[in-house]
Amino acid sequence: MSSTTRNRLKAAGALLSATALGLTLTACSDSGSNGGDATTLVAYTGQAGDYQINFNPFSPSRIGGLGTIYENLFFYNKAQVSEPVPLLGTEQSWNEDGTVLSVTLRENVKWTDGEDFTADDVVFTFEMLKSTDSVNNIGFDGTVEAEDDHHVVFSFDEPTFVKGPDLMNTPIVPEHIWADINPVEDVIEEPIGTGAYVLDEFKPQAYTLKANEDYWDGAPAVKLIRFLSLSGNQAGADAIAAGTIDWQTGPIPDIQNTNKNFPNYDAFTQWQNQMVLATCSNADLGCEGPQTDPAVRHALYYALDREQLNNLAFMETANEISPAFTLTPSQDQYLTPVVDELSAPERSLADTASEYLEEAGWELGDDGIYAKDGERLSLTVEVVTGWTDYITAIDTMASQAKDAGIELVGAQSSWNEWTEKKVSGNFELAIDSLWQGPAPDPYYLYNYFYSSLSGAPVGESAGNNFSRYANPDVDAAIDALSTLPLDDLAARQAHFAEIQEAIIADMPYIPILTGGTTSVWNTADFSGWPSGEDLYAFPAVWSAFDAAEIFKRLEPQG
């Protein structure tokens, strides 16, 4: 890859000409960019297929509401190192040894049903998480108490500095409603929050949020946000070309020339989310298929030609990826000597893939595909219908894998079906991405995706660890890291080494590339978008807490 792909941030253009796109329009026509009310912003998150209503902020099948409806205590900017922004909390401080975190809450805040927001709601939210493992993705294991209506105290048996950002990023729900709700199973159709927006209207093809006129920080200038369901990435690109949506985050043809092709739009690219072939990896928890063999996972890792993938599927917007899942190059300091390859190979190493398979007892068949104990090395990769970049990536990887004696078959389904397969463990491979935590530190990704606390047996709902990975040494290292300050690198490196050695050897998530997240947005009708000069939030419409901050910052220009 060229040296330019190593930059963490880069402004980029996007979009092919309207003629080349074909304009097979499927979007609505009342966006400000199409001459309508510029106080209405039309957004497309990549939803392919009808929405199924669910505003449960703890459900993996939720369709929205984080940040916009349900607020957290503080906003942490994932895009750059900066001070957390006070929301429902106004001040936070740790004691000297990192066992007690005190938080002051904002006064005069009301839930959108008119009830007062108090410290009891914060206490209830965290006690609910602690008692419900499958939604406790942050691994909260402390205690939380209300000192009065506007002060809460989190206490832990050991130093827990690193959990502070996760605690502050948790959506808070109202006790007077959620006391009777099952956070795992219940569908929320009428969400009540404290955020800048409330649910206005829901239809399977679109739902609309309207400004909360009683919001504690004043009603936002963007009065309506309409989230569309389209048929996929091509329909989103067509809608941008026709000027009928205002914000999309996704692959766009001719990515370097957005503003030239469409003067009302601009684009911005940042590298952060790490694309993977996620595996249902743990046979002890019920996973079935060839991918439960670590040798198969390593063979796939070495079979990929990432340079070709970047060119064919991602228009060269992707970046290198570390097998240890430290962001390259911004988190290279966290790599330890146990990591032999600082980044995944750019070109296919089919011979290395074959070595892994043959050492594990796989034999090459007459059809060119390996087999073992009568089972062909054929794997199904789950992908969402309409995610054209990922679909192209699977087609490309299938060709590359075949050269290494592995058969990959793509299986498209709706976003809801794809999500259900992941969380229930009913899959072999799924193309997805792992996201970063609230601070620029790999601890959070390790805790989210590798901790056994957020896994589950096949058939039960898993949290972020949908690969169902379980390694007691990794769990112990994650626990040890949680007791150390983020700035004590010397003390933390031994624990990073333990994790990195294990996850590279086991590879439950097979690294592909670090995705270049590109947003295309309407700069004619709305000002205040993030930029290289003011990167106040991670610029992705599907990154809910970030998008909520962006919606509040925008100013209609029509």
Residue 27 and residue 230 in contact, taking contact as beta carbons nearer than 8 Å: yes
Hey, what's the torsion of the CAs at 73, 79, 80, 82, to 10 degrees? Answer: -20
The backbone torsions φ and ψ at residue 115, rounded to the nearest 5 degrees and listed phi first, read -75, 150
The backbone torsions φ and ψ at residue 486, rounded to the nearest 5 degrees and listed phi first, read -60, -25
Mean pLDDT of 282-311: 98
**DSSP result, 178-209:** HTT--TTT---SS---SSSEEEEEEETTEEEE
Lowest mean pLDDT among 19-23, 40-44, 364-368, 502-506: 19-23
Q: What is the mean pLDDT of the chain?
A: 90
Residue 72 and residue 88 in contact, taking contact as beta carbons nearer than 8 Å: yes
Q: How far apart, in Å, do the first and last CA atoms of the chain sit?
A: 42
> What pLDDT does 4 receive?
31
**DSSP result, 210-254:** EE-TT-TT---S--EEEEEEESSHHHHHHHHHHT--SEEES--SS
CA 434, CA 336: separation in Å to the nearest integer?
A: 21
> What pLDDT does 329 receive?
76
Number of neighbouring beta carbons within 10 Å of residue 182: 11
- Strand, helix or coil for residue 167: helix
- Helix runs in 425-471, H state only: 443-450
CA 91, CA 103: separation in Å to the nearest integer?
A: 6
Q: What are the structure tokens assigned to 193, written together?
A: 């929050």
Mean pLDDT of 189-216: 97
> What pLDDT does 251 receive?
67
Residue 71 and residue 173 in contact, taking contact as beta carbons nearer than 8 Å: no
Q: What are the structure tokens assigned to 494, written together?
A: 């031994």
CA distances for 411 relative to 140, 382, 395, angstroms? 36, 5, 11
Q: Domains of the chain, with CATH numbers? A: 3-69+195-249+517-556 (3.40.190.10), 74-178 (3.90.76.10), 287-515 (3.10.105.10)
- pLDDT of 53 above 80: yes
% pLDDT > 70, the chain: 93
- pLDDT of 330 above 80: no
- State the burial class of residue 181 (Cβ atoms within 10 Å of its Cβ: 0-12, 13-18, 19+): middle
41-69 per-residue burial string, b: 16 or more CB within 10 A, e: under 16: bbbbbbbbbebebbbbbbbbebbbbbbbb
At 439-466, the pLDDT tens digits run: 778 999 999 999 999 999 999 999 999 9
Q: What are the structure tokens assigned to 467, written together?
A: 């690969």
Residue 257 and residue 13 in contact, taking contact as beta carbons nearer than 8 Å: yes
2-35 per-residue burial string, b: 16 or more CB within 10 A, e: under 16: eeebeebbbebbbbbeeeebeeeebbbeebbbbe
> What pLDDT does 440 receive?
77
At 509-551, the pLDDT tens digits run: 999 999 888 899 999 999 999 998 898 998 999 999 999 999 9
Per-residue confidence band for 327, with pLDDT thresholds at 50, 70 and 90:
confident
